[in-house]
Structure 1
Amino acid sequence: MTCSRRQFVTRMGALIAVSGTMGVSIAQALTINGVRYGMIHDESKCIGCTACMDACREVNNVPKGVSRLTIIQSEPIGEFPDVKYQFFRKSCQHCDHAPCVDVCPTGASFRDAATGIVDVNPDLCVGCQYCIASCPYRVRFIHPENKTADKCDFCRKTNLKEGKLPACVLSCPTSALTFGNLDDPNSEISLMLAKKPTYRYKLALGTKPKVYRVPFKYGEVTQ
């Protein structure tokens, strides 16, 4: 398997160099049928309890040593006794213009036309790691058991398939996470975006991420 994968990567390298721009145009031409799922992480409500991480791991059978979702705690902000912390959600941004989709030589990385969710088909993935190298958010990893690329999929194959919200949303004790259809002006997420100031991480890259963040009330927002 290791040898054939190496041979595949070698052969596909030249093809990608020639057809890379074609891949971008094809990916950007995809249309979504009125549904583009997104998420809001309210940093002013997040307490860093990591219940979302535990729920994600349990529902999606994520092995130890890797994670689809990480909550990063900042350095202390302020002085004792008024010390605050910012909690930053690190996970797939489900970009409308996803570099990981553009570089994938087999079509394993794709943007689902029914939901707008960026996902991975493990049956097509050869583990070349091009998607991992191209992701500016550094949220992809090689599944230690399947040896294929993996990441957050908004629980597309688990909770969403059963008509439930993503595991992280259901487990959050402070309701810091909001999930829904960005293309529905009456959805909870759209109404919240219309009312609250938000930012998106590394927006200047043109990836058009669908994870929004209500900024932390203390200190500066790092983008």
Structure 2
Amino acid sequence: MASLIGPDPSRCAPSREAQLKQIESRAKPGDVVFLASLRMPELTARPWREGESAIIDEALKELTDENMEAARTDAERLLQRLQAAQLNILIDAPKPVFKAAPNRCSDWFNHMNPVCKPGLTMERNQLERLRASQMQLLRQLETRYPALHTWDPLPLLCPGATCSAYEENAKPLFFDSNHLSGHGNRVLEPAFTAALLKIWEVPPVTE
């Protein structure tokens, strides 16, 4: 839910409504609802011979004004409902996405696989371009919904100018082109816990 790149799929409406009703019936005021989603256009199966900048330009065309307005409308509908239930909402900002999937391209016998040819890195500035509209929408939503909190894992997953599906020690951060690996989740856990604790921290008493 709340993909921030387009409308919520209509085919998912029944299950989405059932999940919301379950949250409303079971959650207590002050509880945190974490809305995790893929919030970037996928980059696999694109003609990378044209170069990163050209492909990001192509992907950005998918984020039309119509799609972004639909994304805002659906996100607001969801946030209004969760905030009315006196719940805190935590959303993860868009994480890196890659040209190929590590789980298909990590073994030696896959080195000649054409799907792996684009590689497992992306320039961070190109990913920042790709998520700029979503980040702007998140900032707008935060000003309208005090219950909304944004957690940005990108700096931890990509601390330098080039983002990789692997750490320097060759441990995989991603399982496929857009899902974290078990190790990637462990890398983010301390920051995620800190984000939760910040939401719950008690304001200082003033006299």
Q: Identify the structure with the greater strand proportion.
A: 1
Q: Identify the structure with the greater helix proportion.
A: 2
Q: Which has the higher contact order (CA 8 A, sep 6+)?
A: 1
